[in-house]
A = this chain, B = another copy of it.
Amino acid sequence: MAVATFDLDTWTDACLLRVENALVQWIDPQAPAGLGEAMRYAVLDGGKRLRPLLVLAAREAVANQQADAALDDAALRAACAVELIHAYSLVHDDMPCMDNDVLRRGKPTVHVQFGEAQALLAGDALQALAFEFLTPDNAGIAPQVQATLCRLLARAAGHAGMAGGQAIDLASVGLKLNESQLRHMHRLKTGALLEASVMMGAACGQTSSQAHQGLQAYGQALGLAFQVVDDILDVIADSATLGKTAGKDAANDKPTYVSLLGLEAAKSYANQLLEQALAGLAASGLTHVHALQALAQRVVNRNT
């Protein structure tokens, strides 16, 4: 019997085509006084789009090969909304009062290109636009789905998620964090939005509580694995490969998994988290999880 193989690259290309087209179409270039241009610059033509891919992969897992145009549309909107939140956080994070970065994805950062005031506004407007994407008034998406998507995204982006994690990050430069503190910071700073990506995809379909719990375990392990690998790459990769400045964490005296555990133990922790993520999927009872599996493997085995 032939075993169906899953090709992540082909799947990714098809998803990214949908996501990029939607972003190009939905971020209004006519937004006033150059704001639209700055917003598009911040979002388009850049990034690996991991969060949108997680949304679409989780939607596939819960759709169970049942087509539903409204829920597919909801998932695409969620995929784009999560990316807008991620993009706005990078714009603000790069600003002089935060990390003061001048390069992002090989291009001048938004504040270098458009000025600090416009960067601040573009970030603010991207966050609002994320919630606008989730609440179209004539797309046939059930209000229940819209409200759930807004709830998941707002919590993941705010003080108990990404913004809270960034505040801890700010406050922890030069401090010795123990592993539990470091994990807490990263659960909030990057983990919350990655986990929300999975759960927003899952919200675009019916899930049993078993499936919900399995996907949540997957999302949590994946979110942490992403950060552990990020810390490893900051040490072993060069800036050209990363598309951003390597060695920055050590230079900025930031606590990382590598500084805490050492390089080899950090690598083995990343692999352990990958196993946890895959075990979560297995426990979900869902069968169409090829894309989620392959994405977790890609997150841990990436070199950029």
In the complex, the count of this chain's copies comes to 2
Judge whether A121 and B166 touch: CB under 8 Å.
Answer: yes
**A97 CA to B115 CA, complexed, in Å:** 9
* A123-B124, A150-B131, A166-B121 known; A159-B116 Cβ under 8 A: no
* Residue from the set A123, A157, A159, A163 with the largest chain B CB neighbour count within 10 Å: A159
Q: Which of B31, B129, B170 sits near A121, CB closer than 8 Å?
A: B170
Quick check: is A39 within 8 A (CB to CB) of the other chain?
yes
Q: Which of B34, B92, B98, B147 sits near A147, CB closer than 8 Å?
A: B147
Judge whether A153 and B131 touch: CB under 8 Å.
Answer: yes
Q: Shortest Cβ distance from A33 into chain B, in angstroms?
A: 4
Quick check: is A154 within 8 A (CB to CB) of the other chain?
yes
Q: Shortest Cβ distance from A118 into chain B, in angstroms?
A: 7
Quick check: is A49 within 8 A (CB to CB) of the other chain?
no
**A88 CA to B127 CA, complexed, in Å:** 12
* Residue from the set A89, A116, A125, A158 with the largest chain B CB neighbour count within 10 Å: A158
* Residue from the set A88, A134, A188 with the largest chain B CB neighbour count within 10 Å: A134
Judge whether A163 and B125 touch: CB under 8 Å.
Answer: yes
A residues near B (Cβ < 8 Å) are 28, 31-36, 39, 88-89, 92, 95, 97-98, 115-118, 120-121, 123-125, 127-132, 134-137, 142-144, 146-148, 150-151, 153-155, 157-161, 163-168, 170-172, 188
Q: A33-B164, A33-B168, A128-B154 known; 20 other A-B pairs, CB under 8 Å?
A: A31-B160, A33-B172, A34-B171, A35-B159, A92-B124, A97-B116, A117-B170, A118-B167, A120-B120, A121-B166, A128-B158, A128-B163, A129-B154, A132-B151, A132-B154, A135-B150, A135-B154, A137-B151, A143-B148, A147-B150
16 pairs, A vs B, C-beta closer than 8 Å? A32-B188, A33-B167, A33-B170, A92-B120, A97-B115, A97-B116, A97-B117, A121-B170, A124-B163, A127-B128, A128-B157, A129-B159, A136-B151, A137-B151, A143-B144, A146-B150
